[in-house]
Structure 1
Amino acid sequence: MQAEHSTAELPQLRRQKILLILERDGKVMASELSQHFAVSEDTIRRDLSELASAGLVQRVHGGALPRPKDTGKDYFTRVGETDEVKTRLAQLAARRVKNGQIVIFDSGSTTLQIARSLPADISITAITASPMIAITLAEYKGITVIVAGGQLNPVTMSSSGHETLRLIEGIKADLVFTGVCAIHPEVGISSLHFDEVPVKQAMLSSASHVIAVTTADKLGAVEPFVVAPCNRVHTLITERHVASGNVEDYQKLGIEVVQIDA
């Protein structure tokens, strides 16, 4: 970024331009914005704080990152939405499941769609902390379903706590489909819900292969609670068009990136 402004602009106009830069680059740094707009870093930090208070950006040390588009939607709202892209992502992910495998299904609307997209004659052992996913998987004659019980979070419709962790930590799975609130190449996988963190960490540690399936709006985003670094993911399945950042940032970390066509 190079300095292009000899005088300070109106704050509202400057903040609008910051949002455009954020959409283009996937992140913004206060030091670079200060030079770009020819204002102090304190001024830029106030701008970023105002944008964060309005829910438009996620503040991080030294700058800001995008917010996921669906933050704040409850579970049943997300499950009830018809999303062709999410369906196609789930269908592609479901093809990764092979007969005889032990597969962990994390909670989430996309993971639920993966469960619905499995072949009718698949034969696996499935573990999940989501009652909704467990019910869906139970409809398959060839799937043995193990439910990791615990305290149910009505927002995420998944269980957590000591009992949930104890069961998951005692399993060595072939594959895990991890739910994604946000994933950033530098910050890693992060969640909006604190109680999800240890459960997700246990799932990542219990499987030989980790697959993250997500729409493009969650790439380059950050939520308050960090789960794990990005390189804990082996395969990332996402859209062809990525608005924030670049899939090459994930490939450089050794992640296999698979994209569906537009």
Structure 2
Amino acid sequence: MHDHSASELPSLRRQKILLILERDGKVMASELSQHFAVSEDTIRRDLAELDSAGLVQRVHGGALPRPKDTGKDYFTRLDETDEVKVRLAQLAAQKVEDGQIVLFDSGSTTLQVARALRPDISITAVTAAPMTAIALAAYAGVKVILAGGQLNPKTLSAGGHEALRLIAGIKADLAFTGVCAIHPDVGITSLHFDEVPVKQALLASAARVIAVTTADKLGAVEPFVVAPCERLHTLITERHLASGSVEDYRRLGIEVEQLPD
């Protein structure tokens, strides 16, 4: 019987390297070689793969984190009008019914869902993202509950015990989650370690979970696992995928809706 150690699984080892990089801010090939009990050449190949995927920046003897955004701050990205995200949000917003309690995750796509609701909708909305709360407050028929706590500057969403306690105490009808990445085998994963507990609480508190995502997030993997794909009920995405097939998700029992051409 094989011992599936990190040294035998390059993909797992590379995920762990990303975890260490997130924690320490820098990794050295010599230290990683000792940590994983593999040669420095193997580690250098790992770092080369991660660099080519745009996940790290190689430096002499190791690697540094590589910013994954375009250099624009979060406010700028939120205010940019992405036609595909708007269309996805419009499709998702049709799922909301009067009288429901609806959870809204952080992120620009979920913010677009909040902006795309029917003008006369009457719901109770819960979110830990202040920008989304402000968008929801524009509706006369929407009661907004904002989960508080320390604001994460990377996601502009609150985290910590206060936000978790509030979300865990709600039994919602519906939750809209944005995903950093979703893979049929690995599941839903995030780039940010500290947003995982809030996302998990959100998924656990809703009777129905809808993920709204652009095609580039499908088949992708980030360092921090949030939940298995099966936690989703509905996946709303584009018609044409960059990786894999929607059948990969339908086989898991997920309802998949795609934008019309």
**Equivalent-residue separation in structure 1 for 2:73 and 2:204 (angstroms):** 27
Structure 1 residues 181-220: Cα deviation after superposition (integer angstroms, max 9, x where no partner) = 1111111111111111000000000000000000000001
Deviation (angstroms), 1:252: 0.4
User: Which residue is equivalent to 2:240?
Assistant: 241
The alignment status of 1:104 with 2:108, answered yes or no, reads: no
User: Any idea what SS the aligned residue of 1:195 has?
Assistant: helix
The alignment status of 1:52 with 2:54, answered yes or no, reads: no
User: Which residue is equivalent to 2:174?
Assistant: 175
User: Any idea what SS the aligned residue of 1:241 has?
Assistant: coil
**Equivalent-residue separation in structure 2 for 1:45 and 1:88 (angstroms):** 42
Structure 1 residues 155-206: Cα deviation after superposition (integer angstroms, max 9, x where no partner) = 1010000000000000000000011111111111111111110000000000
User: Any idea what SS the aligned residue of 1:208 has?
Assistant: strand
Answer whether contact 1:176 1:207 (CA < 8 A) is retained: yes
User: Which residue is equivalent to 2:205?
Assistant: 206
The aligned runs of 1:36-51 (5 Å cut-off) are: 47-51=45-49
User: Any idea what SS the aligned residue of 1:190 has?
Assistant: strand
Amino acid in structure 2 at the alignment position of 1:210: V
Give the structure-2-normalised TM-score: 0.76
**Equivalent-residue separation in structure 2 for 1:253 and 1:178 (angstroms):** 18
Deviation (angstroms), 1:104: 0.2
Answer whether contact 1:175 1:210 (CA < 8 A) is retained: yes
**Equivalent-residue separation in structure 2 for 1:205 and 1:53 (angstroms):** 35
Deviation (angstroms), 1:154: 1.4
The aligned runs of 1:24-173 (5 Å cut-off) are: 47-56=45-54, 74-173=73-172
% same residue:
72
Deviation (angstroms), 1:53: 2.5
RMSD over aligned CA atoms reads: 2.4
**Equivalent-residue separation in structure 1 for 2:223 and 2:70 (angstroms):** 12
**Equivalent-residue separation in structure 2 for 1:72 and 1:222 (angstroms):** 22
Change (3 A) 1:150 1:211: same
Ranked by relative contact order (alpha carbons within 8 Å, sequence separation 6 or more), the top structure is 1
Deviation (angstroms), 1:51: 2.6
Deviation (angstroms), 1:82: 2.1
